[in-house]
Amino acid sequence: MDKNTGGSTFAAMNTGIDAISFDIPKIQLPIKDLAVARNIEPVKLEKGLGLLNMAMPDVHQDVITFAANAITKLVQQENLKPTDISRIYVGTESGLDASKPIASYLLAILETLFGEDTLTHCDAVDFTFACIGAVDAMQNCMDFVRLNPDKKAIVVSTDIAKYDLNSTGEYTQGAGAVAMLITANPRIIAFKPEVATSAKGVFDFFKPHRIVSKKALGITDNAAWQGVLESEVEIFKEQPVFDGQYSNDCYVERTVEAYERYKALTKTEGTLYQNWKAIIMHLPYSFQARRMFPQIFVSDNAELNAEINPEMEDYGVKLKAFSKSDAYKTFVAEKFAPAERASSLIGNMYTGSIFMGFLSTLCDFAEKGIDASNETFGFLAYGSGAKSKVFEGVIQPEWKEAIKDVNLFETLAETKAIDIDTYHQLHKKEVKESIVTPANEWILSGIESEEINRLGARYYSFVK
């Protein structure tokens, strides 16, 4: 069946997201409280960046618990059996081990539900490329399903976005996971096969292994310390090294180039974005997309481009003025605002941000009675380092039924607010007891510290 999605070729490759679930922290810090503590006018963060709450992991939570909870909800929601799952691919930039992937932990966790050795047939791996890793994982799984239309794959994005206290990225923190079932003839969205990419090796945002000499730690004569015999100690921090303005520039540069390549690839005449019912982009903060998109909006509109283009001396001034115009504000309200709703209440989910934006849009449309069936959504993904991918998908007629039990906004409304002192203690890992008593969820139950052949192994259990 051809669904007005580009002809019989696409109809024969009808692949995409059949079901979706998520997991987020149960606690959050109101952004206004952080703003006051940092001597920032709250309105600058709330109205300027669209930030309201910042989701915080509790003591018993990490990226594996978020992923495990999201995937467990998906399995139960869709009544999946082990034989239904051919792949579990994870997109993350918050890996907890340089060798053992999060995906292998998920295999073990799921086998406690299904039974031992029930998933030995299932392929599993992690994808890492900053915030675009889950998009890479999804597209790899879609290629697999196109070749094996009777197979199903699960893609999980899971991350914790953590920045140093008092840094310029602190107010964009967040956490959570999104799990998606990738199938042929999906109920939610079918993606077109064309994908345009723009990639370049840069240092806009990264998480390096850092080196500290033993002398700096007060250890003399290269004495052994914590099993380290070398004269230097390697330290890994969750917090990134980043340049905010440079990262924004890279975001725009890569996204604009990928957008232009997609337009050429699909031989699109006229303005591409006008074909999109909604635009889904990576949101490190809620208003990022609306603030980055004006350059594309103007350059891909012949009439506007004649008035505002990069060759003009006052291009930057005119572009900024246009971004504040009523015409652009109307465009933002229609194309971007539905995705921003969840982001403003969670914060940055790194690899999950673009998919949470997609889910937020669907839930917003369902809540408002907007029928998106057969409408095209445009996706502009980005990951620092840096890479952008542009692609399109068509919303399927069963989308509303497929998300009816997701309860996104209801879940967001139930999160517990913490105070600034508790936030500081959690950030510095000084809290030893969970803020919210875990219930009906996977928790981190322990990290091996004694058995020599298992040092650092992480153990998980389900709490009813």
Question: What does the alpha-carbon distance between residue 437 and residue 464 come to, in Å, rounded to a whole number?
Answer: 11
Parallel/antiparallel/unpaired status of strands 87-91 and 153-161? parallel
Q: Residue 273 CB: number of other CB atoms within 10 A?
A: 18
3-state secondary structure of 376: strand
Spatial CA neighbour of 362 closest among 16, 3, 4: 16
Parallel/antiparallel/unpaired status of strands 53-56 and 27-30? antiparallel
Question: What does the alpha-carbon distance between residue 7 and residue 42 come to, in Å, rounded to a whole number?
Answer: 50
DSSP H or E segment with residue 254: helix 244-265
Tokens standing for residue 184: 């042929």
Parallel/antiparallel/unpaired status of strands 441-447 and 376-383? unpaired
Q: What is the pLDDT of residue 423?
A: 98
Q: Is the peptide bond before 457 cis (omega within 30 degrees of 0)?
A: no
Task: Please list, in sequence order, all residues whose beta carbon lies within 8 angstroms of the beta carbon of residue 345, skipping any fewer than 6 positions away.
Answer: 28, 52, 53, 55, 412, 415
pLDDT by residue (tens digit) across 14-62?
A: 999 999 999 999 999 999 999 999 999 999 999 999 999 999 999 999 9
Q: What is the pLDDT of residue 11?
A: 47
Q: What is the pLDDT of residue 13?
A: 59
Question: What does the alpha-carbon distance between residue 14 and residue 189 come to, in Å, rounded to a whole number?
Answer: 9
Question: What does the alpha-carbon distance between residue 18 and residue 331 come to, in Å, rounded to a whole number?
Answer: 29
Question: What does the alpha-carbon distance between residue 280 and residue 379 come to, in Å, rounded to a whole number?
Answer: 5
3-state secondary structure of 56: strand
Class of domain 8-204+243-293+336-463: alpha beta
Tokens standing for residue 190: 């079918």
Q: Are 325 and 284 in contact (CB under 8 A)?
A: no
Q: What is the pLDDT of residue 215?
A: 92
Q: What is the pLDDT of residue 148?
A: 97
Instruction: For the chain, give every residue range classified as CATH 3.40.47.10.
Output: 8-204+243-293+336-463
* Under-70 pLDDT residues of the chain: 1-13
User: What angle separates helix 102-114 from helix 63-78, to the nearest 10 degrees?
Assistant: 40
Task: Please list, in sequence order, all residues whose beta carbon lies within 8 angstroms of the beta carbon of residue 359, skipping any fewer than 6 positions away.
Answer: 20, 22, 178, 342, 403, 406, 408
